[in-house]
Amino acid sequence: MNLLVRVCDYERMNVERLSARLFVGLGAFVWLLAAASAYTGYWGPTLKHGVGEALVLGVTALAVLVVGWMFERMGALLVFLSAVGAVIYGIIMGWEVGVFVTVGLAVIVPMIMAGLMFLTAAETQSVCDLEEKKR
């Protein structure tokens, strides 16, 4: 699959948009559950704290989803910055290599994939806009 095709393809653009939105939306849901259950599973019945942290993560992911829904390039930028933020947070917290691998596979790689899908959808949209202007 060539990511830099300069041809207007609405089906491809819609698949890219839908995939990026699903990655971000499902990621928000997974991390809402993970953050809420971490507090109750590991630290006892402190669901109030878990739900509070989960809501912060969920609202952040939903904000990225809403921005990405309307402005793909801005959504991609936010997702990429979040991935960089996760790496910086891991460095500051002194994560071990295993934690970096786990977080990388579960969080950072899907964020990068969603950002790339947002970017390719935006690029296809700009190609379609240019083709329509020529007509």
**What is the structure's pLDDT at 39?**
66
Is the whole model's pTM more than 0.85, yes or no? no
**What is the structure's pLDDT at 55?**
75
Q: Is residue 5 assigned to a domain?
A: no
Q: Is residue 47 assigned to a domain?
A: yes
| Domains identified in the chain, total number | 1
Say how far apart CA 39 and CA 52 lie, in whole Å.
10
DSSP sequence for 33-101: HHHHHHHHHHSSS-HHHHHHHHHHHHHHHHHHHHHHHH-HHHHHHHHHHHHHHHHHHHHHHT--HHHHH
Give the chain's residues under pLDDT 50.
1
Q: Is residue 6 assigned to a domain?
A: no
Q: Is residue 2 assigned to a domain?
A: no
Instruction: Name the residue range of residue 94's domain.
Output: 13-130
